[in-house]
Structure 1
Amino acid sequence: MLDWNAFLAAKGAKATADGKVVFPITDFSPEQTYLIPLAQGLIEIKGPDSAKFLQGQVTCDVRELSTKTTRLGAQCNPKGRMLLCFRALQTDAERILLRVGAGLVDKGLASLGKYIVFSKAKLADQSEAYRCLGVAGPNATQIIEQAFGWNIPNNEDWEAAGENLIIRLDENRYECWVIATEAERLWNLISEKAIPANQNHWNLLNIRAGLGDITPETYEAFTPQTINFQLVNGINFRKGCYTGQEIVARLHYRGTLKRHMYRFGFESNQLPVAGSELLNTEGKAIGDVVLAAWASTGKGELLASVVDDERDSLLVPNNPQKLSLLSLPYAIPTSNEAD
């Protein structure tokens, strides 16, 4: 078995300055099906108290994982600011995996580790045990069924194919957490019917789905509501206490949320960086980039957390061009509606 980066390089990926390998960025086509190596890590919580421990730390209701579904969620600091956002999957009664951004595994182990010491559960980095692959496009469901033998009917549900874990995000998009020893075989099998692509295409699909993310650049920058986690089933307001819950609940029940995450189009020769400030036409900072990706040469899309009343007057970072507001697949409440 080759080193994973060496294997991808042999399949046409190119080395980057930071030692990673990526496939060349091409214009995204919704008519194509893509196979994407995802820059993700996996944190394992294992032991008799794994679910009980996690329930007291995160925004989602961990009890729902026992129904063989997955959940988006966040870990917050005591001020309600997001340390991690993740997709959680419970493989059995004593084991839960959190898929997080690769650059936040160590921070996640440290932040969760502060509270787990008195629980009958342990944390571990399982990133090297798995390879995370994305399959996206009109033939995704057919490819998944042929490769793994499963047709998963419901969004966010998962099935196991041996030690491989397959999650349906929607009918055209799947996350595959494949065991490292089978990754090369499965890549070769799937790539016969899907075009290899890089994380940019996956980020673009997340942007169009209105799914924000936390990166090292935005660590502790956002509350869950300011990146719309309440609108994508990432917060359960009835589950009980967790770190930061008082702030998150207050914003929901008592506050008037005046900041949400919106989707924008832009034209530029430089991709905006997560955490970059967005300015209005008067030069005032009234938003921050959450996630950005190229859609075609010189054109891209981004998610930004911005003041609601200023969403029509934003400028691209380091570029005098105005952003264009694009639609999301869910409605954002107005200031007189509850989130």
Structure 2
Amino acid sequence: MPTHHPAETLLIEGPDATAFAHAQFSSAVSSLATGQWQFSAWLDPQGRVRALFQLARLADERYLLLLRGGIATTLADALRRFVFRSKLGVTALPPRMLATGPALPLHTVVDDGEAVSLGCDTHSLRIIASAVGDDAWRLPQLRAGWPWLPTPLLGELLPSALSLQRLHAVAVDKGCYPGQEIVARLHFRGGHKRHLHCVRLSQAASAGDTLRRDGRDVGCVLDVVTTGDGIEALVVLSDDVAAQATTGHAQTFDDDLAIEILASWPA
């Protein structure tokens, strides 16, 4: 039996919800319209991604976070430490399931009372109360380069390694937020040496695995999906290793794991 990703969600709601989310999260929250969603992240002061999520504006003062990795109760507890006197509540919702729904325009949100559907263009990602979900949405999202962060990698990766600027999950032209100085420095000066790739694996691997060559840490595995044609994964790779793989030859790592790069994304 496959293990389906649970829907770990939380609500931020109240008169100060927009100001709070805009100040804490890396995306341009204040420009998010009601009935729309965007990728966003919560960074630590060193610019590393503590949480990655789809942020949906359900109403003027009500936001739903669907975590792409991590536990909602843990994130809610951490966020509450920064509420201070702001008029808002941060609530972790009971675990639900994720399921694949019909095509909806990218970034649209449909809340019909039974489920919340996030439009993903070729499909929708439905947050449902049922005990049974499915993982059919995972492959198109993996191939689109939409990261999912396994627990060992929370707080470990910089936004540029996850291609978050391409997804508009980080903004360099808004006010200060945790990690903003690091994001701006990497954007304007460059210098980060690891980036995101979709690859085909020669053998099974697990999300969170470290990729090593000659004993050196050269990357990590974010998500793995087995298809009829083999095993595909989203990985973060050191640029020097990725450059060698672009010649069309599979690159071999320790433990005899070989990868073939199918797609790559800049920061």
TM over 0.5: yes
Distance 2:85 2:235 in 1: 38
Are positions 1:279 and 2:245 aligned together?
no
**Normalization by structure 1: what TM-score?**
0.70
- Tell me by how many angstroms 1:102 deviates: 6.4
**Normalization by structure 2: what TM-score?**
0.87
C-alpha distance after superposition, 1:17-55 (max 9, x if no partner): xxxxx47xxxxxxxxxxxxx6412111111111111111
Corresponding residue pairs, total: 261
Counterpart of 1:33 in structure 2 is: none
Is contact 1:82-1:214 (8 Å) kept? no
Distance 2:154 2:31 in 1: 27
Distance 1:40 1:316 in 2: 33
Distance 1:218 1:245 in 2: 20
Counterpart of 2:248 in structure 1 is: none
Which SS does the other structure have where 2:15 is aligned?
Answer: coil
- Tell me by how many angstroms 1:73 deviates: 0.7
Which SS does the other structure have where 1:177 is aligned?
Answer: strand
- Taking the TM superposition and a 5 Å limit, the aligned residue runs for 1:151-170 are 152=104, 154-162=105-113, 164-170=115-121
- Tell me by how many angstroms 1:95 deviates: 1.0
Counterpart of 1:126 in structure 2 is: 93
Is contact 1:84-1:104 (8 Å) kept? no
C-alpha distance after superposition, 1:85-104 (max 9, x if no partner): 00011111221110014642
Are positions 1:315 and 2:246 aligned together?
no
Distance 1:114 1:294 in 2: 40
- Taking the TM superposition and a 5 Å limit, the aligned residue runs for 1:34-183 are 38-101=5-68, 103-128=70-95, 131-135=97-101, 140-141=102-103, 152=104, 154-162=105-113, 164-170=115-121, 172-178=122-128, 180=129, 183=130
Are positions 1:210 and 2:145 aligned together?
yes
C-alpha distance after superposition, 1:150-187 (max 9, x if no partner): xx4x31112332453222101x2101234x3xx48xx8
Counterpart of 1:245 in structure 2 is: 180
Are positions 1:295 and 2:227 aligned together?
yes
The residue identity in structure 2 corresponding to 1:177 is I
- Tell me by how many angstroms 1:242 deviates: 0.7
Is contact 1:279-1:315 (8 Å) kept? no
- Tell me by how many angstroms 1:308 deviates: 1.3
Gap runs ≥5 in structure 1 = 1-13, 15-21, 24-36, 142-151, 188-196, 334-338
Q: Which runs of 4+ in 1 moved over 6 A?
A: none
Distance 2:48 2:69 in 1: 19
- Tell me by how many angstroms 1:122 deviates: 1.1
Bigger radius of gyration among the two: 1
Structure number with higher helix proportion: 1
Change in CA separation of 1:131 and 1:307 when aligned onto 2, cut-off 3 Å: closer
Change in CA separation of 1:305 and 1:102 when aligned onto 2, cut-off 3 Å: closer
Distance 2:234 2:210 in 1: 12
- Tell me by how many angstroms 1:229 deviates: 0.7
Distance 1:132 1:118 in 2: 34
Is contact 1:38-1:134 (8 Å) kept? no
Change in CA separation of 1:213 and 1:131 when aligned onto 2, cut-off 3 Å: closer
The residue identity in structure 2 corresponding to 1:39 is P
Gap runs ≥5 in structure 2 = 246-250
Counterpart of 2:201 in structure 1 is: 266
Distance 1:306 1:80 in 2: 19
Which SS does the other structure have where 1:323 is aligned?
Answer: strand
Q: Percent identity?
A: 24
Change in CA separation of 1:102 and 1:277 when aligned onto 2, cut-off 3 Å: closer
